[in-house]
Structure 1
Amino acid sequence: MTSASPTFTSPATEAALAAALLTIRRNVASFPGVFPDDTTVAGRYPLRPARDGIPKGGNQGWTTSFWSGMQWLAWELSGDELFRDSAHIYTVDFARRAQSGEDLDMHDIGFLYSLSSVAEWRLLGSEDARDAGLLAADVLMRRFLEPAGIIQAWGDLEDPDQQGRTIIDSLMNMPLLTWAAEQTGDARYSDAVRRHTAQLREHIIRENDSTFHTFFWNPETGEPLRGSTAQGANDGSSWSRGQAWGVYGFALNYRTTGDERDLEAAWRCADYFLAHLPANLVPYWDLDFGDGDDEPLDSSAGAITACGLLELAEIDPDPIRAERAERAARDMVAALTAHCAPARPEDSDALLLHGVYSLPHGVGVDEGNLWGDYFYLEALARIARPGWKTYW
């Protein structure tokens, strides 16, 4: 891989952070106590739509915690209590959501509560936030399927179309269970992390190191069945955001399990991702596409991968590989800043342009999105503040 941008320097990092914080500050004023939608429309976040009795701007779906997570990060980076106080308002609402069981038929509970309740516990030691995080972890554990040893991804556990399905995104939901194990000493949580991660390591990564988006097991026997996609170009392609979840998710879980096979899985995903980047280092929405293809980019996949590489740089005991991960991550973040950050903060509500939610469904194509914004900010924080501790 060759760099299309100069290695990120400290002044460049600080300038990118300053621009990002300006946008987040403006968005806090625009969305007081309510949630923006998953993606922008023409560069602006609308309010999250009403759904299933949850009002407009309400806490529903899998992406709302990226909004609270950005505010916790903004507080750590700036020291401005405005961000802390706003983030706390959302953490209180996540506790309400967990207690009421509202819109929690999904594995993304890990996303939701790592970047809200767990973040507040880590930063402020809030017992209420800790209680909400542990409650959320128990809700997530209800989705653990024996004998397959996986967390089911979506929907009602009795839905025959969803039974036995997991998706590569699920790796990022495991840190909530790891945290619950640390807090309680209950091995159920850590055993679930170990078994689920092992199943994905063995079955969701193909022999060529690309990944399936989704994989099915027989829910009664635990037999691995087949891989497919819900958002990639086709069942045999490598959806770029899925590959990115593999890089970061296996790295985070190696930190927990200490299993060298998880570290190797993270590198397999990373090496495939890096080998399929275009010249400008911003990935296409599916890694089957490259330079010369008339296809949208997905900046969010680049931001997630950069965070995963920075995690590898921190945890890999091999100094040569760690340095390679650090260099690749910095080059990718520099490319995202050069090619995908708005020229002026006021030009968009998003920190990153040119993201894709789901191209096959025609949702959020060539727009900003909450997760792309969050992971871009996390990557900047990791570069600008060595030693910064993640919420995962």
Structure 2
Amino acid sequence: MTIAPEMLDARYSAPQPDLSQSWLREAIAGVLTQLDTMLPRFTTTFPAASASAGRYPAVEKVDWTEGFWTGMLWLAWEVTGDDKYRAVAEGLLDSFEERLDKQIKVDTHDLGFLYLLSCVNAWKLTGNIRARDLALRAAELLYRRFNATAGVIQAWGDLNDPARQGRMIIDCNLNVPLLFWAADETGNSAYREAAVRHLSQAARYLVREDASTFHTFYMDIHNGQPLRGDTHQGFSDSSCWARGQAWGIYGFALGFHHTGDTTQPELARRLTHYFLNRLPEDYVCYWDLVFTARDNACRDTSAAAIAVCGLAELLKILPLTDPLRPAYVNAIALIIRNLSTHYFAPPQDGLLREGVYNFGRNMGINEPNLWGDYFYFEALVRLSRVWTPYFC
């Protein structure tokens, strides 16, 4: 049964100034200046997942996030045509190849984040055959994580570990595009079928009736029955982790692009309303949507940036006559302007201050993080031109 979305908060009905091309050019120029200060330090290594005291340590093949650095380099190359960005991004293919060859940190669904933003985009933008081959190898590894009985891609860890089997998480909505791409590239329909089934299970079990989301959900891999939902990074099992809600908005909007399933954008709309209706006065979310102004909670700017990209993707799908389009356009303007005005990071490393990696584990709190930086840059590029997302 389809459940209607919450009524959208009246705050978004008031007309907002347009995001002019001059404003967007200035915001993108600020991003490029910041990337240029970081570039000399990260030509053979990567910024860590999150900054420490405002500065990114250098790492190599240790996390799920390295692709966001190459993603920003490719965005910068698309925007400027300057081959210094392309040269570094292509040079880092060595690291992504070694990761596959030596099986370093590849027991994860985050192969999508890693290889869509480093290799698939390199293939699409420049015809780099090596990048294509690496991405196809990564897609095969991701496909092996699919359990046909449960209909889900296992999030993390050894596929034979009973404690991890059958666990899907909302983040995977942004990883399954690697399988859709590989299916189109090779003609292997099994990749597409796995991605479609996973998205279907995510819609059925990760999304609650009120359009909030579980971070994680367990399926029985032996009989396919649902077991339980819980959280890995949210405030509680029953709360709504802000970044997870943003992954859902973006991922279900992308689902329509890949499948043509009209239930996907409607689901993205429901998640969007839940998200927008729980934003504080400056429209930049707390790290969990359970919090209000009286809780003095940390923001998560990365979740805000992801949500903007997801809402922009949703707008590409909705009819021009959709009565809520003006409110969604206003919401995008409110969020992105406040991120740019109040949370842009210089003189630190990174693009956005006040991100949260994992609050419960005291990781990356009130610091820039690499995915927040990437999606902020993507949002600006999306809004400034006609652009094909790297997740399409």
Which category describes the TM-score, using the shorter chain as reference length? over 0.9
For 1:355, the aligned partner's letter is G
Establish whether residue 43 from structure 1 lines up as the match of residue 43 from structure 2.
no
Paired position in structure 2 for 1:391: 390
Unaligned runs of 5+ in 2: 1-8
Q: Is 1:68–1:91's contact at 8 Å kept on the other side of the alignment?
A: no
Q: Is 1:74–1:83's contact at 8 Å kept on the other side of the alignment?
A: yes
* In 1: Cα distance, 2:117 partner to 2:325 partner: 26
Q: Is 1:218–1:225's contact at 8 Å kept on the other side of the alignment?
A: yes
Paired position in structure 1 for 2:4: none
Paired position in structure 1 for 2:377: 377
Q: Is 1:110–1:175's contact at 8 Å kept on the other side of the alignment?
A: yes
Write the mapping of 1:112-261 to structure 2, written as runs, cut at 5 A: 112-261=114-263
SS in 2 for 1:348: coil
Q: Is 2:265–2:317's contact at 8 Å kept on the other side of the alignment?
A: no
SS in 1 for 2:365: strand
Deviation (angstroms), 1:97: 1.7
- Of residues 80-89 and 327-336 in structure 1, the stretch that sits farther from structure 2 once superposed is 327-336
1:199-254: CA deviations, max 9, x gaps? 01011111111000000000111101110001101000000000000000111111
* In 1: Cα distance, 2:143 partner to 2:327 partner: 36
Q: Give the alignment's TM-score, normalised by structure 2.
A: 0.94
For 1:249, the aligned partner's letter is G
* In 2: Cα distance, 1:167 partner to 1:126 partner: 32
Deviation (angstroms), 1:78: 1.3
Q: Is 2:306–2:375's contact at 8 Å kept on the other side of the alignment?
A: yes
Paired position in structure 2 for 1:333: 336
SS in 2 for 1:360: coil
Establish whether residue 81 from structure 1 lines up as the match of residue 100 from structure 2.
no
Paired position in structure 1 for 2:43: 32
Deviation (angstroms), 1:290: 1.8
Establish whether residue 9 from structure 1 lines up as the match of residue 20 from structure 2.
yes
Q: Is 2:179–2:192's contact at 8 Å kept on the other side of the alignment?
A: yes
Paired position in structure 2 for 1:278: 280
Paired position in structure 2 for 1:51: none
- Of residues 318-327 and 211-220 in structure 1, the stretch that sits farther from structure 2 once superposed is 318-327
Deviation (angstroms), 1:100: 2.9
Q: Is 1:8–1:333's contact at 8 Å kept on the other side of the alignment?
A: no
Deviation (angstroms), 1:318: 5.4
1:162-208: CA deviations, max 9, x gaps? 01101000010011001001101111111111110000101111111
Paired position in structure 1 for 2:361: 361
* In 1: Cα distance, 2:160 partner to 2:204 partner: 25
SS in 2 for 1:104: coil
Deviation (angstroms), 1:98: 2.1
Deviation (angstroms), 1:261: 1.4
Unaligned runs of 5+ in 1: 49-57
- Of residues 85-94 and 267-276 in structure 1, the stretch that sits farther from structure 2 once superposed is 85-94
Deviation (angstroms), 1:390: 1.1
For 1:290, the aligned partner's letter is T
Deviation (angstroms), 1:7: 4.2
* In 2: Cα distance, 1:138 partner to 1:82 partner: 31
Aligned length: 379
- Of residues 256-265 and 270-279 in structure 1, the stretch that sits farther from structure 2 once superposed is 256-265
For 1:88, the aligned partner's letter is E
Among the aligned pairs, what percent are the same residue? 45
1:266-299: CA deviations, max 9, x gaps? 1111110001111100000000012232110000
For 1:16, the aligned partner's letter is A
Q: Is 1:95–1:117's contact at 8 Å kept on the other side of the alignment?
A: no
Paired position in structure 2 for 1:54: none
1:305-362: CA deviations, max 9, x gaps? 00000101112235324444333222211111112113xx3x1111000100011110
SS in 1 for 2:356: strand
1:75-116: CA deviations, max 9, x gaps? 111111111101111123212322332210000001100000
* In 1: Cα distance, 2:330 partner to 2:348 partner: 29
Correspondent of 2:103 among 97, 101, 104: 101
Paired position in structure 2 for 1:316: 318
Q: Is 1:164–1:216's contact at 8 Å kept on the other side of the alignment?
A: yes
* In 1: Cα distance, 2:328 partner to 2:38 partner: 32
SS in 1 for 2:46: coil
* In 2: Cα distance, 1:324 partner to 1:259 partner: 24
Q: Is 2:43–2:92's contact at 8 Å kept on the other side of the alignment?
A: no
Deviation (angstroms), 1:6: 4.7
* In 1: Cα distance, 2:319 partner to 2:147 partner: 33
Q: Is 2:139–2:179's contact at 8 Å kept on the other side of the alignment?
A: yes
Paired position in structure 2 for 1:55: none
Let me know the Cα RMSD of the aligned residues: 1.4
